[in-house]
Amino acid sequence: GFAGGNNLGINLAKGKYLFLLNNDVCMVKDAIPLLIKRLLSSDKIAGVSPLIRDYAEPHAIQFAGYTQLSPITLRNRAIGKGKINKDHYPAQKTPYLHGAAMLTEKNNNRQA
């Protein structure tokens, strides 16, 4: 399945970075260098996900980070989901990456 395919790719990867990307994701130009720059900006960053917009409605945000899990409901929510992207979601700390697009170092020894 999906996880098995990711694990196989991770085991075969030869580069310095791992970028897990769903096959239905469209990337903007220069996204990967920007993600690498953010990843390397602090030893406390173990992985990064980009702002993700809705393909059918390109101005609508699908993901700009996640909230912490609620101790009561054990649920979280996607920050910005359904809102119009007006560049008002700067890069920020998030407790979870988005499974559709995430970048980390292959030999990651960092603690988030």
Query: Which regions of the chain are under pLDDT 70?
Result: 109-112
Question: Which residue type occupies 5?
Answer: G
The pair of structure tokens assigned to 63 is: 């993901």
Q: What is the pLDDT of residue 69?
A: 95
d(CA 86, CA 51): 12
In degrees and rounded to multiples of 5, residue 102 shows phi and psi of -150, 140
Joined tokens for residue 29: 């130009």
User: For residue 73, how far is the Cα from the chain centroid?
Assistant: 24
d(CA 75, CA 53): 22
Which pTM value belongs to this model?
Answer: 0.85
Q: What are the residues whose beta carbons fall under 8 Å from the beta carbon of 69, sequence distance 6 or more?
A: 75, 76, 95
